[in-house]
Chain A
Amino acid sequence: MTSPITSPQTADTAVLGYPHRHLLGIEGLSAGEIGFLLDLSDGYAALNRSESKKTALMRGLTVINLFFETSTRTRTSFELAGKRLGADVINMSVSWSSIKKGETLIDTAMTLNAMHPDVLVVRHPDSGAVKLLSEKVNCAVINGGDGSHEHPTQALLDALTIRQRRGRLAGLVVAICGDILHSRVARSNIHLLTTMGATVRVVAPPTLLPAAIERLGVEVYFDMRKALEGCDIVMMLRLQTERMHGSYVPSIREYFRFYGLDREKLAMAKPDALIMHPGPMNRGVEIDSEVADDIDRSLIRAQVEMGVAVRMACLDVLTRDLRHANEAQGARRRGGAS
């Protein structure tokens, strides 16, 4: 027999729960809902460090990782999360360019829906595509990143990592640095951190800042040194190679000179400020190796670890109703047989 089918949780927030069918974004979630997911994730983080990492919570349930964009770490993280919960996990990588020529996104959704998955984890290069897909299927959908819109599990794992090190989110000063314009990680983190009462600063060259970003409740900086002054957390973003040469940013060396995180700029932050990066890092572009590998300051590996825990928590909450219904059904069946 496997261990008892219960999920780890703390009593005080459990009552709040997560009353949504999907996890499509952080925007619109309440502080209570976010806190609930983080509390649940804390339990899974502990479980993942124990000897018996595996539960049978999702036994018999199917998770499909549907990735229209290449990804290694997010897909692996979801896969591991599903397997540790005992689910059957299937990975589907679809080249979006081939999709464009033939089958529409909705056709793909209908096809998958006919296979009766219980959770779809979807990553897509177009903003809003995951929401569109969620409207066409019967199962729960987790947004694994859509275009430049949201990447909710990344924001949750970042928050969990911060909370484990600092004990709280409220009152912290977090600087998010780099390509804010194209970053779904930045948007999800802005929504989450401002909802939880942290002060969020964004810093980038103006060419990499979206219009009216200050309306999302953040402070805007062009000067990284000023932005880091008194910060608790420095969150770096990846700069895509195709944006490094003359269109948004003139060159790698200029970008690193003004926006790369090195010891000198980090010295402006609080002495115990922590460094985060969603990965994969471009060393020497947005972050100096010396800083990235500083075990006292860098949370980059902790982020990866927390990623699995957060995704387990998300899979758990989104299948709860389903599991309860299945249990009830099973109980009725057993009751009828006896």
Chain B
Amino acid sequence: MNSMSDSADKGKPGRAAYINARLLDPASGLDALGALLVENGRIADFGPRLFNDGVPAGTASIDCNGACLAPGLVDMRVQLREPGEEHKETIKSAGLAAARGGITAMVALPNTEPIVDDVAGVEFVARRAREAKLVKVYTYAAITRGLAGTEITEIGLLAEFGARGFTDGLKAVADAQVMRRALSYARAHDQLIVQHPEEPSLADGAMNEGVTATRLGFAGSPTTAETIMFERDFLLFELTGGRYHAAHVSTAAAIEAIRQAKVRGLQVTCDTAPQYFMLTEADVGDYRSFAKVSPPLRCEADRAAVAAAVADGTIDAVASDHSPHDQESKRQPFAVADPGMAGLETLLPLTLALVHKKQMSLLDAVARLSTRPAEILRLNAGRLAKGAPADLTIFDPEETWTIDPDAFLSKSKNSPFDNYPARGRARATVVDGRMIFGADTYGRAPASVA
């Protein structure tokens, strides 16, 4: 079972030519003006000289006007809140937000109510995604039953039913023996283990440990909480082998640990989220709970290290870490407010900020947002290739706009990037050849996103 979101269109997508596009494909290094042909939901052909002599009759023509055409973004870390907290987000509302953000595939954390730790939960997400018919939705299943950190779940059966990997979501697998067994066991089924890398006994503060926390009167979570978990997991991984991925790296020390692990030849991967290379603990300001995230925002040196590691590829992927919360969860004293920010609609522009700062190329940005996460998750996505599913993102890297969380399609509006002057934006999102967002711009009906 490859795709949980069977988005075969009822009205046949037929043939569509995307012309006058800046084709971006990190896998092959392609960055050139050209065209791409979609046929029956798949990429039929593409290249700089395609349709130089015009688009043949019977093929719909979509003029990209020089905008970038890249493999669709793969967001490897989102919370969908369905089932259980549909007032915060649903698979449908998150799908709309993702489509508008240029995301064609996303992977949900299992921390719903009930928790996705059995086959029924995996099937539920698949069915709801099919009904929503928007972006492709995959789900991780829990590593341990009830996310309790003690008993491993039915990793083999869950994988057969389509779980895309295993994680305890916002909780680290703290017990070293349980983590070792999970890594070992998952290896037999060739499954990915995704860790939230924070040692819980140290990471119980409301924000980063340091002068800001001291001034605001909080117990802090030290960066050491992250480093300890990374180092421990790498040592365990040396015993077990398998597939290990660390989510949302936030510290310079952890990045150094990853760098050394990769030098040692460990096949480990990691991601981060835009807030960790865009914001610091200073953005918590005057107890701004929208800037409360997990792990917490760190100091400037950590932020700079995360940005550099995204640029040089030490951090493999950038994910939104989309954490939708309602007003009640955030309108709380800082220490008790829920951590996390809505991120689907700002993932692309915030990542492009590193391109505009000349820290990395556009191709690098697409690699972190699409190619690498697809590789880590082993999805048939993330590259422009003949015969591959036509999951595409068309974006203008230069469009300037102001982020307005109130206008988010996500049900939740919790973003610390309120009023942020963004540069770069998705224009259209195509899943299996179907344009699910952008029809207004490109005049292609029917579109699912207004």
A contact set with B: CB distance below 8 Å:
205-207, 211, 222-223, 245-251, 253-254, 257-258
Contacts and interface: CB of A to CB of B under 8 A. Distances in A.
A250 B240 contact: no
B188 A222 contact: yes
A257 B188 contact: no
A246 B151 contact: yes
A253 B153 CA distance: 12
Interface in B142-164: 144-145, 150-157
The 3 closest A-B pairs by CB, nearest first: A246-B151, A222-B188, A206-B184
A222 B153 CA distance: 18
B128 interface: no
A245 B152 CA distance: 8
Chain A CB count within 10 A is highest, among B151, B157, B181, B239, for B181
B187 interface: yes
Contacts of B152: 246-247, 250
A254 B188 contact: no
Given A246-B152, A250-B155, A254-B155, 15 more contacts: A205-B184, A205-B188, A206-B185, A206-B240, A207-B181, A222-B187, A245-B151, A246-B145, A247-B151, A248-B181, A249-B185, A250-B153, A250-B185, A253-B154, A258-B188
Interface in B45-96: none
A206 B239 CA distance: 11
Contact of A246 (B150, B157, B184, B240): B150
Given A205-B188, A206-B187, A222-B188, A247 B181 contact: yes
27 contacts: A205-B184, A206-B185, A206-B187, A206-B188, A207-B184, A207-B185, A211-B239, A223-B188, A245-B151, A246-B144, A246-B150, A247-B181, A249-B185, A250-B151, A250-B152, A250-B153, A250-B154, A250-B155, A250-B185, A253-B154, A253-B157, A254-B154, A254-B156, A254-B157, A257-B156, A257-B157, A258-B156
Interface string B288-299: 000000000000
Interface string B174-205: 00000001001101100000000000000000
A254 B157 CA distance: 6
Contacts of A223: 188
B177 to A, nearest CB: 9
A205 B157 contact: no
A211 B238 CA distance: 13
B184 to A, nearest CB: 4
Nearest to B242: A206
Contacts of A257: 156-157
Contacts of A207: 181, 184-185
B87 to A, nearest CB: 33
Interface of B: 144-145, 150-157, 181, 184-185, 187-188, 239-240
Contacts of A249: 185
Contacts of A222: 187-188
A257 B240 CA distance: 23
B176 to A, nearest CB: 14
Nearest to B239: A211
Contacts of A205: 184-185, 188
B188 A251 contact: no
Contacts of A247: 151-152, 181
A106 to B, nearest CB: 32
Nearest to B188: A222
Contacts of B188: 205-206, 222-223, 258
Contacts of A206: 184-185, 187-188, 240
A242 to B, nearest CB: 12
A251 B185 contact: no
A206 B152 CA distance: 13
Nearest to A203: B188
Contacts of B151: 245-247, 250
B291 to A, nearest CB: 38
Chain A CB count within 10 A is highest, among B156, B187, B239, for B156
B299 to A, nearest CB: 40
A143 to B, nearest CB: 30
Contacts of A251: 154
Nearest to A245: B151
Contacts of A258: 156, 188
Contacts of B240: 206
A85 to B, nearest CB: 46
A178 to B, nearest CB: 14
A206 B191 CA distance: 13
Chain B CB count within 10 A is highest, among A245, A247, A254, A257, for A254
A55 B250 CA distance: 78
B412 to A, nearest CB: 33
Contacts of A246: 144-145, 150-153
A206 to B, nearest CB: 4
A29 B155 CA distance: 41
Contacts of A248: 181
A201 to B, nearest CB: 15
A304 to B, nearest CB: 32
A279 to B, nearest CB: 26
A156 to B, nearest CB: 32
Chain B CB count within 10 A is highest, among A207, A223, A251, for A207
A62 to B, nearest CB: 45
Nearest to B183: A206
A258 B188 CA distance: 10
B150 to A, nearest CB: 7
